[in-house]
Structure formats: C-alpha cells, structure tokens
A and B are shown apart, each in its own frame.
Chain A
C-alpha cells in the first residue's frame, strides 16, 4: 500500500510517496528529503533534538507520522534564514554561545522560534527556561540558550514595532 501526501517544506511544495504509514516526519525529512539539519536524539519524543514547526507550532518530528501531515506547512532549521541573513534566533545563539557540541542546537532554535511566537514567555528568564525545558542539552549550554532566547525575543519585538510604526 502506498500513500501520497503533499507538504510545504521550507516554502517548497513537495509531493511524497510513502510505502510505509509508520514513517515519521523526522525520518522523512532526514532520509528522503535530505534535510539532515533536524537531529535524532532519542526517537521517542523525550529530547527535543528533532523539533520543527508544523503550521507554525513546534512539534517533535520523531513523534508525528508523516501520513497525517497532508497539506501541512513545515519549517525546519534549513528554512529559517532569509538567504544569507540569519533569523534573529539563529544570530542570538551565536552571539550568546548557546551551544557547545551543537547537536541539540537546531531543535533548540526551532523550539525557541515556536516559543517566541506563542508569546507566553516574553523576556522572563524563568518562563523561558520553563518553555524550553522540552529540549535537552547535555553540554548544558542552558545559560547561553536562555540569554539567546530572551535577546531574540527583544530584537524581534523591536523589529515588529518598527515595522508597524
């Protein structure tokens, strides 16, 4: 049995044939669409390394089955930058040393983008840490990660104010 779905991935329209309904979005991205920026840390929804945005909301791609995503709009770490210009969250992670080995970083960044657009955490460090607690970092770069998220939140708010002004 074969399933056919269509997705928007980082702005590109993709049609995918699936021979197995158990294929996860993570495996689809990494193994069939050559988007290896999204990482596999645990494959069971417990580490956050595989976080992507589905219709703007952050999800663990290792837990979502690709077949259920027909028509969805997916953003991965590869789709975040605007050409050569990094997304403010990406830039802030560099600025604040929000990583060491970098393996959790794509997931952290996607989760941060989701968190910021949810708008619950604002610039409160405690709420940011709470909001980011689904993303493990074994190198424990949490200090930099938190600072990066707060800084990016601030910068993005400023830009949108400037835009709407």
Chain B
C-alpha cells in the first residue's frame, strides 16, 4: 500500500457541478445508440398497424374487415372484442378504450389492429376496411363546448384567496378581456413504438418508448388480466418525449401485448408520423377570460379568471394539467384578492395530454397578458407594471400564492434587475420607440418577461423515487434508477451523483436501461423532477454502501470512522491510501454487502384539492428573458433579432446540459407561441398532421443573437441534490417575451394606446389581423 501516491488525480473525472457530455454522446454521433426500432428483432416477430376511424363523433353501424383479413401478409385482425379489458384510461375513469367498436369520439380513433408479416403489409391492409357510421353532432372547440352546456372530462378546480369580487368592484381601474392560447404537437422525432415479447406462463416483456415504464407495466397487466409481476418494461432512451410519452404509449403497448399473447409471437407496433400526430394527444389549448382590478401605479387589487381547456374526449391527464394552469396564473406576481377556475371541457377531439410545462406555461401566458393589459391601459413600460406586482421579500405581506403557499425563495427582483441591466433593456426600449416613429413598414418591439415555476408533482404521492446501485468486486459500479432518458441528460447527471459519492471517475459508473424489474413503482419522468427525485434516490443508495464500507474500514484498520475518507479513485484509511478497486475487493472478502436500493420522497409538500390550500411545490425555479423583434407591418411577418436569457437552476449539477435545456426549451416554447398552429377542420379532422403543415422551429428560426446564461449565484435554499434546481420545463415559458415584443411592434401602429391582444400562436396572419384592427380602431 502506498502512503503517498502522486499518480492519483486531485479531482475525479466527472464530478458534480461540472460540464460533462451526455453519456451516449459518442454513440449518438456514430449512429450506434439504439432506439427501440433499431434493436435486433426477436425471431418470428410480427408487425401491427392501427386501423383508424374517420368521424369526429359517430356510432359505428358496421365494420367490414374481410378485405383487410384477406390482404397479403396479414396474420390476424383484432377488434375491441379481442380485448376483454378494453381500457387504458390513465385517469382510471374507464373513458379510454384501446379500440372502439361502437362510439367514435374523435377523428382517427383506432377501431382495429392488423397484424402482418411486415409493417408495410400491415399498413397497406389497414386501409382496406369498410366502416359505416351514423353521425352524431361533434363538439370541436372550447366555444362550442361552452355553448352546449360544457361537459367536463374531470372535476374542475377553483383557487381562491381574499374577496376578488369586492376588490374588483372597488379598484380604481378595471379591465376585462379574453385570450386564446393554442395547443402544441410534441413532434418527438422518434414516434411511439412498443415491442411485446411473450415469455413463459403469463410473462410479458415490453420495450416501449415511454416516460413512464411503471404505468405501461400496470396497463399491460390490466389488459392482460395478469398481476404486475408478470410484466417487465424496459426503455434505454427515447428520441424525445416532452410529455407526449407520459400516458400516450399505454394504448400501443396494450395492443402489442394483447396481440403477442394471442398469437404467441413477438409484436412490434410503430406508428407512422401522421397516425402519431392524429391519434395521440397534444398540449391543451385554452380560452382565458379575465377580469382585472388595479390602480394608477399598475398594482393589481383583484383578479378573477376562468381557464377553459379543450381536453378532448377523455380525462387522461387533463385534471392535473388544468390544475397546474391555475397554479401558474400568478406566475411571479402577488394578487391580493384572487379567484380562478378551471373548465376541463370535453370535446370530440383527440385527448390532450402532458406537454413540457403541463398547463403551467398556459397559466403564465395568462398572467403576462394581465401585466401587458395594465401597462397599455396606463401607458407604462410593461416592465414597471411587472416589478410593481412581483412577490415580496420573505416575511413581507406579499408572499401568499392563490393556493396559500408562501413564496420563501423569491429571487425574481434580483434576477430581473440583472437581466435588464445586462441587456440595456431601458435604453433599447427608448431607441425602439424612437425608431418606430420614423419607420413606416418595419416596426420593432422589445419585452422582458419573467417565469416562476413550481417544482414537484402536484399529486404528492408521485414525489418518490428509487434507485439501485451495485458495486462489483473490481470496483466498477452499476447504476439503475426509475427515471427515463429522453435527451435531457438525466442519466448523466445521476451518474455524476454516484461518481461524486464514491469519488470515482464517471466512466467507472455504468448506466443501465430503465426497467420495472430493477426499480419498481416509479413515477413518470415528468414535472422536471427527474434529477431531483432520482438523483436523491441514487445518493441514498450510495450513502448506504458507503456507510458499510466506512464501518468495515474502521473495524479492519482500527481507526475512528472519521479517519476513513473517499478521495479521488482511492480511499484513505488513517494514513493508508488504498486504490478504490483494491478497497472494494477487500470489502467483498470481508463479506460487506456492496449493493443497495435507495429511496427518496420529497419532504414538506402537501396539497388539499378540496380546499385549494397547501404546499404543492417544494420550491420555485426562476428565470427571465428579453426579446427583440422586427415586424413587417404589411405582411405580419417577423424575425426575432435578439433574445437574452438569465435562468435559475440553483447550483447546477452540469452547466453544459442545463444550458442546453434552457436553449432548447426557449426555442420549443417560441415554436409553441409563434408558429406551431394546430388546425382542425369543420369535420374535426386535424389538417396539420405532418411537418409540411405544422411548423416547428428550424435552425434558421433561432434568434439572430441568442445569449443564454445561468444565474450562477443562485443556490437552492432547500437540501436538493447538490442544491440544484429542476430545469426541464421552466425555460419553455421564457419566450413569452417574444410574443409581447411582437405585440409592442404591433401596438406602435396605434401609438401604444391599445393592447393588441394577439392570441397565440402569433402567426403572421394573426399579427397582420391585429395590425389592421389597431389601424382602424
């Protein structure tokens, strides 16, 4: 044993808080990172394709599938009657059949499944069905749903504090308005896919592109009528998820599993892009009605608002999504008196679902529109109105949210002041106003908008996680946890946690595919919580093993436990220095257990939905952005000239990955708010079901100047993993500044006297309409 070994580094390769590449970086650029469709296929595997209906609301009067059955390559055709348990409702409301044979509730709803020798054969055969319908009146939009009396898919929520009615009646100024906020297609580049492989007895193995392996497990067990222990689900990585793979894969895994059981062969189902876009849910679109009372300083006295959402035909996640919209109706602002309501409306459209932000961004869009309205009504810089309404310092009387949680970690005033200063916001705004005076066609706009985002699942029970860590005799480490990897870098961050705990280089930690067989009862990788929860669970597993190792070393070398120290790739025991693998090997021979299951549950959170009170969020993340745009007032077209972001991720576990998340979130949010328009025709057919008609941001849509910075001074006040903060969802809210900058450019045509009230997405068409409206007003 060497007492002084200078060959050891002073820090490990890949510690916490350092930039580390994505764990699969090399495989991604070499094309060797396997997604599910790239895996070698089990022998005898068959392919499934769905057969879709083409009515928004109808009764199926007859379904002739004889031509499908006789098509070349077809092995079997499955309908609802092949599913004894025909139910994949994640909300447990029995409102989502796997296949329908009677009532069609949205255009494209699957009615049968073709199993064939090849995917092409299955897909071609599926088109040969002859289905007859009896049409029913279809309700397609929020307006139609409300007019028809407004059926809900799930229970609405009201959040209330103080007396909003009186505050509104007594406020010196009052504005009422309405805003439509559009939905969004996930467009994960890898579409939905599942492979089911039947095993011995009642066993079934599933590979699915899913953010929620445990739910796939439960759904497959449910439809197969077997216990959960018969089903094992795997996912190594997804080609994007964004919330679209939280519940929407259930149906396809269920189809593959039932077909696999019936035919005793492995089954793969992979949707075509337009099927995926037609048959799976999207971000909820909302119509927000608001009533604001305020004073001459722009301070809010009272707010009343109604958030009506197009939920589609079933509940799915609409309850928690519309709840979260209300949880963010305050964004960064204190409302002395407030009453807000959700209306989760049933419509004959595809069932809307989770999408990065989960309703929160829609709530924030509402809040920012409130600020903008007040600013235009008073002729003020919207930033001044925002600052006048920010939550107060801890201890002040302006810290209570509409859901009665106290904001204890407010850093918004500092963050916004820094960003405004760094970007020269005030001066640039003056210059833009001057520019607009003399520019006839091109008008510019600038805006600074903040985001405060609540972190935790609002369903308290979901805030738990598990991890499994093995240290092998050679000192190599196997890591597994319940989180899934969809590009957000979760696997890398959790591996950094383990490397840091044991003080070993990152490449000594092997990250393995998420599976229900290793870590059970997991929550979806969602709500930005992946690292918070799984990082802590992994930390807990490592802690247990380390405690055993320390006790072992203290006993064997007869030193106090405090004299055992994990140094980079070695362990110091008293004055002895032992390389990590040797140390582990000795522990093995001393019969020390080198494996542990870790567990974590977020402390302190609770939520009572019936009273609308509690502490649903453990903490808040903060951020802000300034955007500058140029609008062509003759065409409504615009470009984003510059965007600056300052974002809070606490003490970042991996600044490179976090910055990537912020940049990507900004661009994706900008797409949602500006170009991505979902359009259903009068028959309820989604007409924007391919990238040719549905415009997600391209490389060329990135702001010309784009500066993203992390607020390096920020540290989570609470004991999260490494004092970091969640990063997945909040950045999506940042580009509201783009919308408001466009709005300012438009408002310039009427000398900023009127709030342009542009709905999102702010397509050039909508921008042009707003310009025309303001010119003639």
Taking Cβ atoms with an 8 Å cutoff, the residues of A that contact B are 30, 35-44, 46-47, 49, 76-78, 80-81, 86, 90-91, 93-94, 97, 99-106, 109, 126, 128-130, 132-133, 135-146
Judge whether B24 is part of the interface by a CB distance below 8 angstroms. Answer: yes
Whole-angstrom CA separation of A76 from B30 in the bound complex: 10
CB closest chain-B residue, reference A130: B700
Whole-angstrom CA separation of A146 from B27 in the bound complex: 20
Judge whether B699 is part of the interface by a CB distance below 8 angstroms. Answer: yes
Task: State whether A42 and B668 are in contact (beta carbons under 8 Å apart), knowing that A100-B660, A102-B239, A143-B706 are contacts in the complex.
Answer: no
Q: A103–B699 contact, CB under 8 A?
A: no
B429 contact set on A, CB distance < 8 A: none
Q: B691–A42 contact, CB under 8 A?
A: yes
Q: B272–A43 contact, CB under 8 A?
A: yes
Q: A36–B38 contact, CB under 8 A?
A: yes
Picked from A42, A94, A135, the residue with its CB within 8 Å of the CB of B21 is: A94
Q: B31–A135 contact, CB under 8 A?
A: no
Whole-angstrom CA separation of A35 from B22 in the bound complex: 23
Picked from B22, B238, B667, B692, the residue with its CB within 8 Å of the CB of A99 is: B22
Picked from A38, A90, A143, the residue with its CB within 8 Å of the CB of B29 is: A90
Task: State whether A46 and B692 are in contact (beta carbons under 8 Å apart), knowing that A37-B31, A78-B31 are contacts in the complex.
Answer: yes
Picked from A30, A99, A142, the residue with its CB within 8 Å of the CB of B699 is: A142
Whole-angstrom CA separation of A126 from B24 in the bound complex: 29
Could you tell me the distance in whole angstroms from the C-beta of A10 to the nearest C-beta in chain B?
Answer: 11
Interface centre among A80, A91, A93, A97 (most CB of B within 10 A): A97
Whole-angstrom CA separation of A107 from B702 in the bound complex: 19
Whole-angstrom CA separation of A102 from B22 in the bound complex: 10
Could you tell me the distance in whole angstroms from the C-beta of A70 to the nearest C-beta in chain B?
Answer: 22
Q: B29–A105 contact, CB under 8 A?
A: yes
Q: B487–A41 contact, CB under 8 A?
A: no
Whole-angstrom CA separation of A49 from B37 in the bound complex: 14
CB closest chain-B residue, reference A81: B30
Judge whether B26 is part of the interface by a CB distance below 8 angstroms. Answer: yes
CB closest chain-B residue, reference A37: B31
Could you tell me the distance in whole angstroms from the C-beta of B293 to the nearest C-beta in chain A?
Answer: 39
Task: State whether A41 and B663 are in contact (beta carbons under 8 Å apart), knowing that A86-B30, A100-B22 are contacts in the complex.
Answer: no
Task: State whether A93 and B29 are in contact (beta carbons under 8 Å apart), knowing that A44-B273, A103-B190, A139-B240 are contacts in the complex.
Answer: yes
B663 contact set on A, CB distance < 8 A: 140-143
Q: Tell me the residues in window 716-738 of chain B with beta carbons closer than 8 Å to chain A beta carbons.
A: none
The B interface is mostly helix, strand or loop, or mixed, namely loop
Picked from B489, B661, B668, B708, the residue with its CB within 8 Å of the CB of A138 is: B668
Taking Cβ atoms with an 8 Å cutoff, the residues of B that contact A are 21-22, 24-35, 37-38, 186-190, 237-242, 272-273, 486-489, 656-657, 660-661, 663-668, 671, 690-692, 696-700, 702, 704, 706, 708
Q: B189–A103 contact, CB under 8 A?
A: yes
Q: A36–B37 contact, CB under 8 A?
A: yes
B691 contact set on A, CB distance < 8 A: 42, 46-47, 136
Picked from A101, A137, A146, the residue with its CB within 8 Å of the CB of B238 is: A101
Could you tell me the distance in whole angstroms from the C-beta of A87 to the nearest C-beta in chain B?
Answer: 9
Task: State whether A39 and B189 are in contact (beta carbons under 8 Å apart), knowing that A44-B690, A46-B690, A139-B487 are contacts in the complex.
Answer: yes
Task: State whether A103 and B35 are in contact (beta carbons under 8 Å apart), knowing that A47-B691, A135-B699 are contacts in the complex.
Answer: yes
Q: A140–B190 contact, CB under 8 A?
A: no
Q: A39–B190 contact, CB under 8 A?
A: yes
B666 contact set on A, CB distance < 8 A: 140
A41 contact set on B, CB distance < 8 A: 189-190, 273
Could you tell me the distance in whole angstroms from the C-beta of B730 to the nearest C-beta in chain A?
Answer: 15
Interface centre among A40, A144, A146 (most CB of B within 10 A): A40
Whole-angstrom CA separation of A47 from B665 in the bound complex: 19
Q: B700–A133 contact, CB under 8 A?
A: yes
Q: B35–A140 contact, CB under 8 A?
A: no
Whole-angstrom CA separation of A81 from B26 in the bound complex: 11
Q: B487–A101 contact, CB under 8 A?
A: yes
Whole-angstrom CA separation of A101 from B23 in the bound complex: 11
Could you tell me the distance in whole angstroms from the C-beta of B28 to the nearest C-beta in chain A?
Answer: 3
B35 contact set on A, CB distance < 8 A: 39, 103
Picked from B29, B489, B698, B700, the residue with its CB within 8 Å of the CB of A100 is: B489
A146 contact set on B, CB distance < 8 A: 699, 702
Q: A141–B664 contact, CB under 8 A?
A: yes
Q: A136–B239 contact, CB under 8 A?
A: no
Could you tell me the distance in whole angstroms from the C-beta of A89 to the nearest C-beta in chain B?
Answer: 8
Given pairs A36-B38, A42-B690, A100-B660, 6 additional interface contacts (CB within 8 A): A86-B26, A94-B21, A135-B699, A138-B240, A140-B665, A142-B702
Q: B189–A43 contact, CB under 8 A?
A: no
CB closest chain-A residue, reference B698: A133
Provide a sorted-by-A list of 30 A–B residue pairs whose CB atoms are within 8 angstroms.
Answer: A41-B190, A80-B30, A86-B26, A86-B29, A86-B30, A90-B29, A94-B21, A97-B656, A99-B487, A100-B240, A100-B488, A101-B240, A101-B487, A103-B487, A104-B239, A130-B700, A133-B698, A133-B700, A136-B189, A136-B691, A136-B696, A138-B188, A138-B189, A138-B668, A139-B240, A140-B671, A142-B697, A142-B698, A143-B663, A143-B708
A76 contact set on B, CB distance < 8 A: 31
Whole-angstrom CA separation of A102 from B30 in the bound complex: 10
Q: B696–A138 contact, CB under 8 A?
A: yes
Picked from B26, B661, B668, B671, the residue with its CB within 8 Å of the CB of A94 is: B26
A36 contact set on B, CB distance < 8 A: 31, 34, 37-38
